[in-house]
Structure 1
Amino acid sequence: MVRIDASRGLKVVLQAAAVAAAYFAAGRLGLLEQVVVAGARVTPLWPPTGIAVTALLLYGLRLWPGVAAGALLVIASIGSVDAGALAITAGNTLAPVCACLALRRAGFRPELDRLRDGVALVFLGALAGMLISATVGSTTLLVGGSLTGEEFWATWSAWWVGDAMGVLVVAPVLLAAHRFRLPGAELRPRWLEPAVLLAVTVVVGYVAARSPFDLLFLVFPLIVWAALRFELAGAAPCVLAASVLTITAATEDAGPFAGQSVLHQMVTLQALNGSAALTGLLLAAIVAERQNTHRKIQQACDELTEVVSRLASGGDPRRGAAGPEHRPYGTTPRPPGAAD
């Protein structure tokens, strides 16, 4: 028993370490596309929140120390670790924990095969859950003197949107990847279409994000196509690719974002990314729910057909085998050799 408990404890420690490493790596990548809003450095898309929420949903709340360690490592890589850094770390840890608790309370399923699951991830996991990290972080900067009262709400809104986008854009990709299985040789040709679709999305997204014209809406037909054909596994990577390309263009002041103020860029960027994420996520959930309903109806029809077939052949539908010979009511079988 002691050996089993030690093995489980070691497994949890290794999982938490993996979460911390993934959080730190994603945080460093997110910081590559940071902007300055009201004197504070924020990111339009903060991938670590999606990693944290996904890890807690799939492997349990016991991995929260990994989230806290990853958040603290990211802060330590860009500044000193003081009381404010610890407070921000606490907020960045508490937000995904509360989001996970709210999703579990709502009956969320990581398969995202129901519309209610998509709605729960949007409103409970992203929009409501990330209010905590944005509020704690912005308040900490305000109390520490890094922000003024006039700058508070601009920083708070940018922080909240960046964290929420991390959940909306990154978490669906990780949840889809967790269910992914390599197809057999007979099914591999079917994966040519989603691969081409993702490549086309990257090309179209890059051209639209770098063009001086407002062509960012061109990615939406591709996202809709991916959701209708391949559900979450197709829509989530396309949304992620489109979001990364537009964020890169905005931070480099390129394409339709050139010459615009930071506020204008952030509003346009987050409206586009939020709409793309909602379109792909909710449409994929609707398609998956419809497919599940169709399979259940088909299964019920097959069972009913089998029962009717057995009844027509004189069998017992409850036993699945032929029943006794049919006799008129009130008659009894004749013994062998009885005369007519």
Structure 2
Amino acid sequence: MAGVVGNEELRRTGVFVLRTLAVAACYYAAGRLGLLRNLVVEGAVFTPIWPPTGVAVACLLVFGLRAWPGIALGVLLVIMHLTALSPEVLGNLAGNTAAPVCAYLMLRRVGFRTDLSRLRDGLALVFLGALTGMLISATVGVGMLVITDHLTTGGFWSVWLAWWVGDAMGVLIVTPLLLLLHAARWPPNLSRWLEATGLAVFTCAVVPLVTHSTVSVLFLVYPLLIWAALRFQLVGSMLCALFTSVMATVAATDGAGPFRELTRIEVMIKLQAFNGTMALTALLLSAVITEQRNTRRSVEAACQELVEVLEHLTAGDAPRGQPPRESEGPREEQAGR
């Protein structure tokens, strides 16, 4: 018996270690991708989209609080890639770990569903998971820059805004995609593969042109988002939003298209406003459409059950689940006697 218990404990420890290493590796890989493109505001370097925050929140929603050691390890690896270990590193480590953990706790508190099938789930992810939860990482991170004299107090709010929006964008775009990937059924349904291919080709052709055009026509991406949300719900709209955000970030960091001849502050404001509104539109619109479709299916199923009950009653049969009524014949005979 003791051997069985020891083997079970060993297995749990092995699973925990493997899960921690996997979460840390995913966080670090996402961090390296996010660092490929960055902007400089008030001498501080930040990324317009910080994917690790989305990875962290998704891992917590899937694995629970057991994922936080992996997140902390991933944060440490990213920080060590950027700079040497120092006392202020502990502050950034705590802030970047606490932010997704607090976001997860708030989402669990309101009954968040990982399938994002309700509008309230989309709103919770936006306002609790992204906008509220990431206040912690932005405040702690920029605060450490001020404390260590790497940033003046006059530049606090501009850097804080850029940091906060970058972390929030990671949650808005990356977390829904990872949750959908985790719940996806294989093989996928390819009933509309021709339309999906057409949408993908059209998006790949239009989005680079729009984001790099000297004429400010960024609004032309919204019909693509609406098309993707109406026909393919969350997976289509979020993939379209992710690709558009990446292309807009590339254009902004290169100073091309609608971001030409703008100051760093203006580039940051324009890019973050565009990415934020686009991600909000894609997430909330697809959540509304999914909720309406689920409601319609529930109503259709209820109507079908009602039709079956009425058919049984019309035919003189008892509805399913109820015993047949006793025959009236014997009672009439007894009355005649």
Q: For the superposition of Structure 1 and Structure 2, which TM-score range results when normalised by the shorter chain?
A: over 0.9
Q: Is the 8 A contact 1:198 1:237 kept in 2?
A: no
Any runs of at least 4 consecutive aligned residues in structure 1 with deviations exceeding 4 A, and if so which?
none
Q: Is the 8 A contact 2:24 2:70 kept in 1?
A: yes
CA deviation after TM superposition for structure 1 residue 253, in Å: 0.7
Matches within 5 A, 1:237-256: 237-256=239-258
Matched AA of 1:9: T
The match for 1:337 is: none
CA deviation after TM superposition for structure 1 residue 330, in Å: 5.0
Inter-partner Cα distance in structure 1 for 2:197 and 2:89: 42
Matched AA of 1:158: A
Matched AA of 1:126: A
The match for 1:83 is: 87
Q: 1:311 aligns with which of 310, 313, 324?
A: 313
CA 1:311–1:85 in 2, change beyond 3 Å: closer, same or farther?
A: same
CA deviation after TM superposition for structure 1 residue 307, in Å: 1.2
Matched AA of 1:288: T
CA deviation after TM superposition for structure 1 residue 157, in Å: 0.8
The match for 1:301 is: 303
CA 1:333–1:245 in 2, change beyond 3 Å: closer, same or farther?
A: farther
TM-score, with length taken from structure 1: 0.93
Matched AA of 2:12: R
The root-mean-square deviation of aligned C-alpha atoms, in Å, is: 2.0
CA deviation after TM superposition for structure 1 residue 329, in Å: 10
Q: Does 1:128 align with 2:128?
A: no
Inter-partner Cα distance in structure 1 for 2:166 and 2:302: 45
CA deviation after TM superposition for structure 1 residue 315, in Å: 1.8
The match for 2:156 is: 152
Matched AA of 1:132: I
- Equivalent pairs, count: 333
Q: Give the percent of matched residue pairs that are identical in Structure 1 and Structure 2.
A: 51
Q: Is the 8 A contact 1:310 1:320 kept in 2?
A: no
TM-score, with length taken from structure 2: 0.94
Q: Does 1:274 align with 2:272?
A: no
Inter-partner Cα distance in structure 2 for 1:2 and 1:200: 57
Q: 1:206 aligns with which of 205, 208, 214?
A: 208
- Please say which of residues 113-122 and 187-196 is displaced more in the overlay: 187-196
Q: 1:47 aligns with which of 44, 48, 51?
A: 51
Write the deviation string for residues 83-135 of structure 1: whole angstroms up to 9, x where unpaired: 11111011000000000000000111010010000000000000000000000
Secondary structure of the residue aligned to 2:192 is helix
Matched AA of 2:69: P
Matched AA of 1:112: L
- Please say which of residues 5-14 and 81-90 is displaced more in the overlay: 5-14
Matched AA of 1:41: V
The match for 2:29 is: 25
- Please say which of residues 240-249 and 174-183 is displaced more in the overlay: 174-183
Q: Which runs of 5+ in 2 are unaligned?
A: none
Q: Which runs of 5+ in 1 are unaligned?
A: 335-340
CA 1:133–1:332 in 2, change beyond 3 Å: closer, same or farther?
A: farther
Q: Is the 8 A contact 2:39 2:268 kept in 1?
A: no
Write the deviation string for residues 275-322 of structure 1: whole angstroms up to 9, x where unpaired: 11111100110011111111111111111111112212222214367x
